[in-house]
Amino acid sequence: MAFFKHETAIIDTGAIVGDGTKIWHFSHVMADSVIGDDCNLGQNVVISPQVRIGRGVKIQNNVSVYSGVICEDDVFLGPSMVFTNVINPRSFISRKDEFRPTVLRKGCSIGANATVVCGHEIGAYALVGAGSVVTHDVKPYALVVGNPARQIGWVSEYGHRLQFDDSGIATCPESHQCYSYDSASDSVTRIK
């Protein structure tokens, strides 16, 4: 199986694109980037050199994924969300050797128009609300919103807000998966 590329999209020599991936209007995939199988890149998406995109990633319209970003499998990047890769950019100073890595773990979602400041990790299945500005690491399953983004709860792998009972157990209303909250480590794990 091959990938689909709209006639207006550009894929530079040296880029690797996985089977079943779709790359839509006016997108640009630069050399030395890797995109996994079954991804979807919307209109006006830019993938910079050395970016690594896992399997099943959905990148909505108008997103630029800059060098230093790694997206694991099943990540969702909402429309017009923003990455940075230098903490103190200046147009007259080249700081390409100062890129800070940003890692998005499996299944996390970044809402429309959110900004992820470089050098942070977004945990597995975390959900960053639309318009939020991430300035620190986000825990797995965390729900964060605002500017700067702050945690307001926990979500299931299906993206539903979790309500924990007195014993620290919550059930996703859609998948019926169960989750456990550990107050000592302030963390959530899926238990079945």
Mean per-residue pLDDT, 29-58:
98
Q: Judge whether 8 lies within some domain.
A: yes
pLDDT at 70 over 90: yes
pLDDT in tens, 147-190: 999 999 999 999 999 999 999 999 999 999 999 999 999 999 99
What is the domain count for the chain? 1
pLDDT at 192: 81
pLDDT at 50 over 80: yes
Question: Percent of the chain, pLDDT > 90?
Answer: 96
Q: Judge whether 130 lies within some domain.
A: yes
pLDDT at 5: 97
Q: Judge whether 177 lies within some domain.
A: no
Q: How many CA atoms lie within 13 A of 10 on its CB side?
A: 9
DSSP state, 161? B
Q: Judge whether 108 lies within some domain.
A: yes
pLDDT at 1 over 80: no
CB atoms closer than 10 angstroms to residue 168:
12
3-state secondary structure of 97: helix
Alpha-carbon span 32 to 169, nearest angstrom? 44
Q: Judge whether 140 lies within some domain.
A: yes
Q: Judge whether 187 lies within some domain.
A: no
CA 17-138-119 angle, to 5 degrees, is 65
Residue 71: its H or E element: strand 69-71
Alpha-carbon span 33 to 14, nearest angstrom? 8
CATH number at residue 85: 2.160.10.10
CB atoms closer than 10 angstroms to residue 142:
25
Q: How confident is the model at residue 97 (pLDDT cuts 50, 70, 90)?
A: confident
pLDDT at 103: 98
Q: Give residue 85's domain range.
A: 4-159
For tokens 């790359």, name the residue: 23
Instruction: Compute the residue count for the chain.
Output: 192
Q: Judge whether 15 lies within some domain.
A: yes
Q: Judge whether 168 lies within some domain.
A: no
pLDDT at 83 over 70: yes
Question: Percent of the chain, pLDDT > 70?
Answer: 99
Please state the three-class secondary structure of 105-130 as a single string.
CCCCEECCCCEECCCCEECCCCEECC
